[in-house]
Amino acid sequence: MEQLWPGPPLDSQVKPAAAPRPLLTPLFMLLMAGAGAPRAWAHAADLILAKCWTDPAGQVTLTLSVDCARHPVLTDEASAWSVLREILRVETPAGPVPLFALTPGEASRGTDPDPEVPVTAEPLPAGAVSRYAMLRYAWQPEPGSLRFSVKPGSPYDVLFWLGSPRVPGQAAPARPVPWQMLMSGDVTPAIAVSPAVSRTDSPAVPPPAIPPPSGQSRALRAVLALAILTVLPLLVIRRQAPRVGLPDRR
């Protein structure tokens, strides 16, 4: 499996597949033909596009897409979504787990290519429009690291890169993104996953401030205090005064 190119490498090299494949040598030669800006490749239309990113809260998002207008086999959305659902898996200590077992994928379609895609296909014929079938997965894995692998026996190659969320009007990145080619059985380098942000980590919200009393309330308090000071001594004196009993008329 090739190293990431032309962006910086990830934590480790890609684990090679168990057996060599005929496409490995020509792909390697194409990758190493030069560096710099992404170029248009004729065979790029055959690739499954996979972009991954993480956020500080610990969520991982993976988008998979294929251009049905260019791909020689996946020419309709139904077949494309079926392949996208199965092609990548998450490596775990218990073995690889399909993405759909972790979280339901969100299917969508579009006509515009991702501005971050590091390898582009040759232009379409005049008047033709791209037809992207896309599948998006987002979930909260355990903190640490994460690896993806291509389903063994898959005839489709995957262009995998680390990118960022796509926003309307997004321009191409100023620097090339880290990317690599994945084929049947290949495993990505480790991708760092941040711990999830818990509620206890959120900043405490101060209690609302008690407004100072208004002028009217201060005057009312003064009147009540004066009334209490005036009446209270009278009540005490009355309670302590001797009682004069009525004469006994018997």
**Given a cut of 50, is residue 147 above it in pLDDT?**
yes
Q: Is the pTM of this model over 0.75?
A: no
Query: Any idea which residue has 């993480």 for tokens?
Result: 54
pLDDT category, 120, cuts 50, 70, 90? confident
**Given a cut of 80, is residue 32 above it in pLDDT?**
no
**Residue 26 pLDDT:** 34
**Residue 131 pLDDT:** 96
Is there a contact between 148 and 188 (Cβ–Cβ < 8 Å)? yes
**Residue 95 pLDDT:** 93
Dump pLDDT digits (tens) for 153-205: 999 999 999 998 877 766 666 667 889 999 999 999 999 998 876 544 545 55
* 171 secondary structure, DSSP code: P
**Residue 158 pLDDT:** 96
> How far apart are the C-alpha atoms of 131 and 35, rounded to whole Å?
29
pLDDT category, 230, cuts 50, 70, 90? confident
- For residue 202 the two structure tokens come to 């959120």
Q: How confident is the model over 105-116, as a mean pLDDT?
A: 93
Dump pLDDT digits (tens) for 56-91: 899 999 999 999 999 999 999 999 999 999 999 999
> CA nearest 195: which of 140, 235, 126, 122?
140
**Residue 11 pLDDT:** 43
Strand partners, 110: 132
What percentage of the chain reaches a pLDDT higher than 90?
44
Report which of residues 5 and 217 the model is more confident about.
Answer: 217
What percentage of the chain reaches a pLDDT higher than 70?
61
